[in-house]
């Protein structure tokens, strides 16, 4: 937990001088994450959005970001503030490769993709996005890998330049620390990011790094159980008469199911369900849940449920929410590690109460 480190002589340290610039625990974590992502360099930040901000600081006024339109509400909100700094952004449905390709500008310097997306569970073809980007520009391709994690998907192996993850979620898995991370292979990009990490200073504490290091030890076990429970819940909901639609890339009904099987090794516990009714039915459903906790965030051992339209994505402009499909009856579930039968029973009783 030290903030500073003894030096041999003025300007001669033993590898560390001040904890913001680096410390043994963060170094250990960053090396571990880089290895898991099949990268070379990892840079941990104080939150997922701090990691996003670190990447965007590679840009300058006059540059352009081409971003997936369906993405975490906080990322959307942050990107929309970039105009005041002279960085323009275009939101596009990157599952439509033709539409994605036509959205490039001469000054496009960063392509930002989530896959699977939050909350619509869209799957974007990473290899195709990289191919088109390199044909049309010298932009960097950044993939937000939070929903899949490196256990199920490794974008760097598919040609991406940067992988961003909210370590708060599955990578830590215990809902007890907030952190983000950027992983790269290129030495020059890493050098620029390392300078910005230290200069801007939004770094995690050594104790938070210890917690994530601990969480990573069980990630492979947790992800297998999240996948099993998530698929069981998705299949139950898909066959329920009180449900309109279920979005889970592991279901054969998902529009990009085959792409997901090709691109991913498996699926996490994330899924989206459209229940019958509207805002009132959604509120009753969430209030009636007993095992699922109504709360934001995801990826912890406990099951969570939320209403994106008025929670995680409330900051997204209404017209953009409607364009993406974030309706008042859309519930996002983060299926945890509880007993499968208990999870299904809880959802069943809440559906029956909300939609008699």
> Out of 109, 136, 154, 169, which one is annotated catalytic?
169
Catalytic one of 63, 93, 144, 208: 144
Helices (H) and strands (E) in the chain, counts: 13, 14
Residue with tokens 């990289």: 130
Say whether 276 sits in a helix, a strand or coil.
coil
Residue 285 CB partners (closer than 8 Å, separation 6+): 275, 331, 350, 351, 353, 354, 355
Tokens in use for 1? 């937990």
Asked about 20 being catalytic, the answer comes back as yes
Place of tokens 């030290």: 2
Please give the C-alpha separations between residue 51 and each of 43, 57, 142, 193, 207, in angstroms, as whole numbers: 8, 10, 11, 10, 18
Task: Respond yes or no: is residue 169 known to be catalytic.
Answer: yes
In terms of DSSP H, where are the helices of 158-316? 187-200, 206-216, 219-238, 257-263, 279-288
352 catalytically annotated: no
End-to-end C-alpha distance for the chain, whole angstroms: 54
Instruction: Give me the catalytic one of 72, 151, 321, 332.
Output: 72
The answer to whether the CB of 99 falls within 8 A of the CB of 323 is: no
Catalytic residue among 17, 20, 38, 301, which?
Answer: 20
Enumerate the active-site residues: 20, 72, 144, 169
């Amino acid at each position: 937990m030290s903030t500073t480190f003894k030096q041999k002589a003025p300007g001669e340290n033993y590898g560390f001088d001040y904890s913001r610039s680096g410390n043994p625990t963060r170094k250990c974590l960053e090396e571990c994450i880089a290895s898991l992502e099949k990268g070379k360099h990892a840079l941990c930040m104080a939150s997922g959005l701090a990691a996003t901000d670190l990447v965007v600081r590679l840009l300058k006024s006059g540059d352009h970001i081409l971003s997936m339109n369906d993405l975490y509400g906080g990322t959307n909100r942050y990107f929309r503030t970039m105009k005041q700094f002279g960085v323009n952004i275009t939101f596009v449905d990157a599952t439509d490769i033709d539409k994605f390709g036509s959205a490039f500008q001469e000054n496009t310097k960063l392509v930002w993709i989530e896959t699977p997306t939050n909350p619509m569970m869209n799957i974007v073809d990473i290899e195709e996005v990289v191919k088109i980007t390199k044909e049309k520009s010298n932009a960097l391709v950044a993939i937000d890998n939070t929903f899949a994690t490196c256990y199920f998907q490794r974008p760097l192996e598919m040609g991406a330049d940067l992988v961003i993850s909210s370590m708060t979620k599955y990578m830590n898995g215990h809902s007890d620390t907030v952190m983000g991370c950027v992983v790269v292979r290129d030495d020059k990009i890493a050098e620029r990011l390392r300078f910005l990490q230290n200069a801007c200073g939004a770094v995690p504490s050594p104790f938070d790094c210890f917690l994530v290091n601990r969480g990573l030890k069980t990630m492979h076990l947790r992800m297998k159980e999240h996948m099993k429970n998530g698929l069981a819940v998705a299949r139950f909901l898909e066959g329920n008469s009180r449900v309109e639609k279920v979005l889970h890339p592991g279901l054969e009904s998902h529009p990009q199911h085959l792409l997901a099987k090709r691109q991913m090794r498996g699926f996490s516990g994330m899924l989206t369900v459209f229940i019958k009714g509207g805002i009132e039915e959604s509120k009753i459903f969430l209030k009636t849940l007993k095992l699922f906790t109504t709360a934001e965030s995801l990826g912890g051992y406990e099951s969570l449920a939320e209403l994106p339209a008025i929670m995680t994505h409330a900051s997204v402009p209404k017209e953009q929410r409607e364009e993406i499909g974030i309706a008042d009856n859309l519930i996002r579930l983060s299926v945890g590690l509880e007993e499968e039968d208990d999870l299904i029973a809880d959802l069943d009783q809440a559906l029956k109460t909300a939609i008699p």
